[in-house]
Amino acid sequence: MTVSTQVVVIGGGYAGVMAANRLTQRENVAVTLINPRPTFVERIRLHQVVGGSDDALVAYRDVLGEGARLVVDTVARIDAAERSVTLATGDTVGYDYLIYAVGSGSADPRVPGAAEFAYPIADLEEAQRLRSVVDAVPATAAVTVVGAGPTGIETAAELAEEGRSVTLVCGGVLGPYLHPRGRRSVAGRLAELGVTVLEGPDAKVTAVTRDAVRLSGGRELPSRVTIWATGFGVPDLARRSGLSTDAMGRLLTDETLTSVDDVRIVAAGDSAAPSDLPFRMSCQAAGPLGAKAADTVLSRIAGEQPAPIDLGLAGQCLSLGRRAGIFQLAHKDDTARGIHLGGRPGAKLKEFICRLTVKQLAAEARKPGSNTWAWAKDDKRQQVLRAG
Ligand SMILES: Cc1cc2nc3c(=O)[nH]c(=O)nc-3n(C[C@H](O)[C@H](O)[C@H](O)COP(=O)(O)OP(=O)(O)OC[C@H]3O[C@@H](n4cnc5c(N)ncnc54)[C@H](O)[C@@H]3O)c2cc1C
């Protein structure tokens, strides 16, 4: 068999692994996946790393198809003109097509003292470090979680269930994505776990010190461990490599996920901004986007016009400790509906979804091209695009 097309995938997360596996369905395509760690990280379990109930690690041999070659390294630069990437170790790898799937990490905390004294939790090493910090303080020590999006809520619940004394500082409302009914359900569970939830305009953190956080309303809360969970930022690799990005640094693409600068570069997952209307950063979007990125590349190799992305999200699923959870259902345009599943069934569903994401990768490894996403339709996106 002659290999005629080299495809390099940067980033071995949900999007990159899905893309790499799917690409192996064509025998004359050589797939190289470049990732800094030798092990797949289930980022959606990182709050469990902090709580001590999971290590969030899965061997690549369990999720990555044999047809894809894993290179453990970091891409330092993309040279689109030369069609090559330079690795941190100095090597270069050439490509015919490139899939950009570098994901996300912690956003730069702009609040004074946060970078020095608060602990982020957006990647594996951050979560592991935080676990050691939590382990080293007495059980009664005040823990403050800053940010009440999914990561903040899940982390606060996990630690409170362990018996920690947790304050969740929302900076605005608890769970901004949630429907008011879903929010009430989450607030109820956090209250049962003993989490103090501070909401409203006075509950914005304005400064962090070694042992306290200061709030916009003037209050100062003692805090032995401050956890920073105010949202994600993306790696600046695309921007540094001279490619067009949105304001946050996500690679700008069209609806086929193809870079607006270069038909050979396709993006997926948290680091992609299709039509400057990015999907919510989520594992839920990353898998289908990874598959779509691979389909786009395979279409181009076959000399066909790739189809536009057609993806709607189902909702948001949060664990609230190990014994409760919530599945907040959404409309196809990713706004919350008045329906949710809470309590123990919510926890079970969340665990099922966590396992499903890994199973989907493994299924794609075994049978490339097999995954489909039945709910994938978002008519409102099409209307917005047509109007723009
Ligand atoms: C605690 C927590 C809980 C979450 N829970 C949920 C949830 O319940 N549901 C949900 O949908 N989402 C959840 N998310 C969000 C979800 O984890 C991300 O949206 C998802 O991981 C994005 O997938 P991705 O493949 O785009 O990126 P990632 O999973 O971040 O993978 C990107 C990969 O690229 C690698 N990489 C980065 N730069 C380079 C480089 N220069 N060279 C080579 N490789 C590079 C990274 O090391 C990483 O391995 C959660 C996130 C956190 C932190």
Instruction: Indicate whether 277 and 376 sit together in one domain.
Output: yes
Calculate how far, in angstroms, residue 286's C-alpha sits from the geometric centre of ligand 1: 8
Instruction: Indicate whether 162 and 188 sit together in one domain.
Output: yes
- Which pLDDT value is given to residue 332? 82
Residue 172 falls inside a structural domain: yes
Q: Is 74 in the pocket of ligand 1 (CB under 6 A)?
A: yes
Q: Is 104 in the pocket of ligand 1 (CB under 6 A)?
A: yes
Instruction: Indicate whether 119 and 100 sit together in one domain.
Output: no
Instruction: Indicate whether 256 and 293 sit together in one domain.
Output: yes
Q: Is 261 exposed, middle or buried (0-12, 13-18, 19+ CB in 10 A)?
A: middle
Instruction: Indicate whether 273 and 381 sit together in one domain.
Output: yes
- Which pLDDT value is given to residue 190? 98
**Of 196, 228, 260, which residue constitutes the final position of a domain?**
228
Fill in the DSSP letter of residue 32. Answer: E
- Which pLDDT value is given to residue 146? 98
**Of 228, 260, 276, which residue constitutes the final position of a domain?**
228
Cα separation, 182 vs 202, in Å, equals 23
Q: Is 34 in the pocket of ligand 1 (CB under 6 A)?
A: yes
Handedness of CA 343, 345, 351, 357 (dihedral sign): negative
Calculate how far, in angstroms, residue 310's C-alpha sits from the geometric centre of ligand 1: 21
Which ligand 1 atom is at minimum distance from the Cα of 269?
Answer: 26
Secondary structure tally for the chain: helices H, strands E: 11, 25
Calculate how far, in angstroms, residue 220's C-alpha sits from the geometric centre of ligand 1: 33
**Of 186, 206, 228, which residue constitutes the final position of a domain?**
228
Instruction: Indicate whether 17 and 100 sit together in one domain.
Output: yes
Instruction: Indicate whether 255 and 360 sit together in one domain.
Output: yes
Residue 109 falls inside a structural domain: no
Tell me the pairing of strands 57-59 and 5-10.
unpaired
Q: Is 150 in the pocket of ligand 1 (CB under 6 A)?
A: yes
Cα separation, 296 vs 272, in Å, equals 14
Instruction: Indicate whether 214 and 271 sit together in one domain.
Output: no
Type of residue at 262? D
Instruction: Note down the domain range covering 153.
Output: 114-228
Q: Is 44 in the pocket of ligand 1 (CB under 6 A)?
A: yes
Instruction: Indicate whether 207 and 238 sit together in one domain.
Output: no
Instruction: Indicate whether 256 and 362 sit together in one domain.
Output: yes
Which ligand 1 atom is at minimum distance from the Cα of 354?
Answer: 8
CA-proximal residue: ligand 1, atom 14 (nearest): 44
Calculate how far, in angstroms, residue 41's C-alpha sits from the geometric centre of ligand 1: 8
Which ligand 1 atom is at minimum distance from the Cα of 316?
Answer: 9
Type of residue at 37? R
Q: Global pTM?
A: 0.97
Instruction: Indicate whether 167 and 309 sit together in one domain.
Output: no
Residue 182 falls inside a structural domain: yes
Residue 183 falls inside a structural domain: yes
Residue 221 falls inside a structural domain: yes
Residue 215 falls inside a structural domain: yes
Q: Are 198 and 146 in contact, with CB atoms under 8 Å apart? A: no
Strand ranges for 96-250 from DSSP E: 97-100, 105-106, 118-120, 142-146, 165-169, 196-198, 205-209, 212-215, 220-222, 225-228, 232-233
Residue 142 falls inside a structural domain: yes
Calculate how far, in angstroms, residue 100's C-alpha sits from the geometric centre of ligand 1: 13
- Which pLDDT value is given to residue 30? 97
Both tokens of residue 355?
């396992």
- Which pLDDT value is given to residue 217? 87
- Which pLDDT value is given to residue 374? 63
Each residue's pLDDT, cut to its tens digit, for the chain (388 residues) gives: 566 899 999 999 999 999 999 999 999 999 999 999 999 999 999 999 999 999 999 999 999 999 999 999 999 999 999 999 999 999 999 999 999 999 999 998 999 999 999 999 999 999 999 999 999 999 999 999 999 999 999 999 999 999 999 999 999 999 999 999 999 999 999 999 999 999 999 999 999 999 999 999 899 999 999 999 999 999 999 999 999 999 999 999 999 999 999 999 999 999 999 999 999 999 999 999 999 999 999 999 999 999 999 898 999 999 999 999 999 999 888 999 999 999 999 999 999 999 999 999 999 999 999 998 765 567 778 788 888 7
Q: Is 258 in the pocket of ligand 1 (CB under 6 A)?
A: no
Which ligand 1 atom is at minimum distance from the Cα of 290?
Answer: 25
- Which pLDDT value is given to residue 1? 54
Q: What CATH code is carried by the domain that includes residue 100?
A: 3.50.50.60
Residue 349 falls inside a structural domain: yes
Number of domains in the chain: 2
Instruction: Indicate whether 96 and 128 sit together in one domain.
Output: no
Return the best residue to mutate from 73, 91, 279, 282 for the ligand 1 pocket (most ligand atoms within 8 A of CB).
282
Number of CB atoms found within 10 A of residue 163's CB: 11
- Which pLDDT value is given to residue 383? 82
